[in-house]
Amino acid sequence: MIAFHRLAAAAVLSLSVAGPVLAQTPAAPMLDAAAIKRDVEVLSGDAYAGRGPGEVGEEKTLAYLVEQFAAAGLQPGGQNGGWFQDVALTRYQRDNASVSIRLNGEIQPLELVRDLSVTSMHIGQTRIEDAGLVFVGFGVDDLGWDQFAGADLTGKVAVVLLNDPDYASDVGPFNGRNRSPQGGLGAKKRAAFARGAVAVLQIHQFETASWPWQQIANSDPDPKFVRGPAPERGVDTSGAIRWEAAVDLFAKAGFDLPALALSAREQAFRAVEVPGVTLSTEFSIAASPMVTRNVVALQPGTDRADETVIYGAHWDAYGIGPADDRGDRLRNGAIDNGIGTATLLEIARTYAKALAPRRSVLFIGYTSEEDGLLGAYEYANAPLRPLETTAAVFNLDPHLALPMTRSLELIGAGRTGLEVDLARVAAGQGLSIEAEHDPAAGWYGRSDHFTFAEQAVPTVYFRAGSDLVEGGTTRGMAMIRAYNSQHYHQRTDEFDPAWDMAAAAQEGTVAYLLGREVADSDRWPNWNEGVPYRARRDASAAARD
């Protein structure tokens, strides 16, 4: 299956470079870059208070989105003939948290937020006292690997690396550079807790994560959320430690952490106890119910109106938090995901100005993406229109403000036939398809379209690429690296009047044209052979006859 994905991805990339002359002269986008910029400025303004779900910014954000959809001439597509879909969540708030690490009984100079974070969804009081540390590599127990072998984790803290053993390899059992399910914290926690661990401490390194420690620091005091009522949870404590702090701690204990991390990429690696090092933490968790909302607008179809094409973007950012050293309490989310939301609005306006499509089109502003794709999961698990007759889902989560580009970046290549259509439509706009910049970051599983993929609805996720008309990939990649390391999920993700939204308009134009093709056709996109979702999609074929 993995080999097939790579072959399919290679085929798409080869198609995209078949017309290099076109790629040098991108067409002017259909979508209005100035309109996108105006909406980004509004949505990321301080008046919207960082667009935090359940906070003061939510109602203002929802009102603006409804106002814009209605002004474009779209109809309500939500519950009970309205504009919204309710998303019931449980909010977990941590209070009175402390955490300390000792080496041979001596407290180490490590601080919560600066060096460490800790969380849990176990309601009530959590207290761990002087639990020993065991380094278990990437915490993998699957596909013939067992990095816990020989270790007694009873009453101890499992220290794990972020990602999986293949994160820096082109090939391997864990999907090469593409992050695998085994690389997620959830899989590591399940394996460690099943062996008696009382907590999991993940070592955070930019190289394996793709986001900086400051994002962890910003989010440490934030509430956490799950869909639905609070589940019963037993042991659930997890946290993170900054790479540099972990390297220093391990060195004091007589271990070379970089060397251990390198050895953990081999199947022969076995867990290592870190003698003399203990962790203590204490905090309380209170849970409370809340309701947030997706915004849903409808462009009705004509002769195939019972069938659906979906465009979506998450409207939420991180809202209000503790003040930084400038006194700023807001993470405004101008790029993430003000640009995606603004592009969604402009695509909706473009549909509304054109002849009605054959299939109906939904435009969804998802809530709580930053909390775990929760709004999209709500729709995907409680759809307002049948998923069996939803032809395709397009996701707008661009992650950068770029000027005019010659390329689009395809995330998670090799999965659906839509990728071939994407390459063709992009070429018509003078754009090539470039390979995913950082597959180890796991972007495919970190944005809203993934919730639909899990329900077997064909999706394709792409965003503006790095080959800029002025400056090429050198300038483009420098801009991408700067944003990811300095602004992603931070208070500095703020609107800049100097931004050029040309690339967002290009990305949105291709999304409009590709989605319009699907909306005007009677064909049904599907997953490629060998992709796990294919069998489930095929099983619902009778609904599409």
In whole numbers, what is the pLDDT of the chain averaged over residues? 94
Which three-class secondary structure state does DSSP give residue 261?
Answer: helix
Residue 5: phi and psi, rounded to 5, are: -55, -40
- CA separation for the pair 74, 294 (Å, rounded): 16
Residues 518/498, Cβ–Cβ less than 8 Å? no
Is the pLDDT confidence value at 1 over 60?
A: no
User: Mean per-residue pLDDT for 87-116?
Assistant: 97
**Local confidence band at 413 (pLDDT 50, 70, 90 cut-offs):** very high
- Whether residues 260 and 303 share a domain: the answer is no
CA neighbor of 217 nearest in space, from 368, 315, 102, 111: 111
- CA separation for the pair 475, 157 (Å, rounded): 43
Residue 201: how many other CB atoms lie within 10 Å: 27
**Local confidence band at 24 (pLDDT 50, 70, 90 cut-offs):** low
The torsion defined by the Cα of 122, 123, 125 and 126, in degrees rounded to 10, comes to 10
- Whether residues 204 and 316 share a domain: the answer is no
Residue 385: how many other CB atoms lie within 10 Å: 17
Tokens representing 44 are 């990321």
**Lowest-pLDDT range of 2-6, 102-106, 518-522:** 2-6
pLDDT of residue 20: 37
pLDDT of residue 445: 92
pLDDT of residue 432: 98
pLDDT of residue 25: 85
Residue 535: how many other CB atoms lie within 10 Å: 10
**Lowest-pLDDT range of 79-83, 352-356, 427-431, 481-485:** 481-485
- CA separation for the pair 499, 515 (Å, rounded): 27
Q: 286, 306, 341 — which closes off a domain?
A: 286
Upstream peptide bond of 395 is cis (omega within 30 degrees of 0): no
pLDDT tens by residue, 12-22: 555 554 333 34
CATH number at residue 259: 3.50.30.30
Is the pLDDT confidence value at 8 over 60?
A: no
- Whether residues 199 and 311 share a domain: the answer is no
Residue 388: phi and psi, rounded to 5, are: -60, -30
AA letter at 305: A
pLDDT of residue 156: 98
- CA separation for the pair 334, 318 (Å, rounded): 11
- Whether residues 274 and 405 share a domain: the answer is no
- Whether residues 466 and 324 share a domain: the answer is yes
Residues 206/169, Cβ–Cβ less than 8 Å? no
Using the 8-state DSSP alphabet, how is residue 72 labeled?
H
pLDDT tens by residue, 124-158: 999 999 999 999 999 999 999 999 999 999 999 99
pLDDT tens by residue, 312-349: 999 999 999 888 888 999 999 999 999 999 999 999 99
Q: Which residue(s) pair with 304 in the sheet? A: 359
- Whether residues 368 and 400 share a domain: the answer is yes
- Whether residues 273 and 147 share a domain: the answer is yes
182 φ/ψ sector (left φ>0, alpha ψ -120 to 50, else beta): alpha
**Local confidence band at 297 (pLDDT 50, 70, 90 cut-offs):** very high
pLDDT of residue 177: 86
pLDDT of residue 170: 84
- Whether residues 339 and 245 share a domain: the answer is no
Q: What pTM value is reported for the model?
A: 0.93
AA letter at 214: Q
- Whether residues 239 and 319 share a domain: the answer is no
AA letter at 90: T
Is the pLDDT confidence value at 211 over 90?
A: no
User: Mean per-residue pLDDT for 34-49?
Assistant: 98
pLDDT of residue 12: 57
User: Mean per-residue pLDDT for 16-30?
Assistant: 64
- Whether residues 448 and 500 share a domain: the answer is yes
- CA separation for the pair 162, 248 (Å, rounded): 18
Q: Considering only the C-alpha atoms of the chain, give the largest distance between any 2 of them, rounded to a whole number of Å.
A: 74
Is the pLDDT confidence value at 88 over 50?
A: yes
Residues 210/484, Cβ–Cβ less than 8 Å? yes
User: Mean per-residue pLDDT for 214-235?
Assistant: 90
- Whether residues 328 and 466 share a domain: the answer is yes
pLDDT tens by residue, 238-275: 999 999 999 999 999 999 999 999 999 999 999 999 99
Mention every residue, 6+ apart, whose C-beta is less than 8 A from residue 285.
Answer: 92, 93, 94, 95, 120, 121, 122, 123, 124, 126
Q: 286, 320, 335 — which closes off a domain?
A: 286
Q: In total, how many domains does the chain have?
A: 2
The torsion defined by the Cα of 212, 415, 460 and 364, in degrees rounded to 10, comes to -90
User: Mean per-residue pLDDT for 171-194?
Assistant: 90
Strands 390-395 and 304-314, bridge-based pairing:
parallel
pLDDT of residue 19: 37
- Whether residues 292 and 254 share a domain: the answer is no
CATH number at residue 324: 3.40.630.10
Residue 169 exposure: Cα atoms within 13 Å on the Cβ side: 14
Q: Any idea which residue has 């440490």 for tokens?
A: 220
Residue 122, domain extent: 92-286
HEC sequence for 466-483: CCECCCHHHHHHHHHHHH
pLDDT of residue 18: 38
Tokens representing 342 are 């603004």
pLDDT tens by residue, 449-498: 999 999 999 999 999 999 999 999 999 999 999 999 899 999 999 999 99
Mention every residue, 6+ apart, whose C-beta is less than 8 A from residue 471.
Answer: none
Q: List the beta strands (DSSP E) in 104-255.
A: 106-107, 116-119, 124-135, 141-142, 145-146, 157-161, 199-204, 224-227, 238-242
Percent of the chain with pLDDT over 70: 96
Q: What angle do CA 372, 390, 407 make, to 5 degrees?
A: 70
pLDDT of residue 16: 53
User: Mean per-residue pLDDT for 6-12?
Assistant: 52
Q: 264, 286, 308 — which closes off a domain?
A: 286
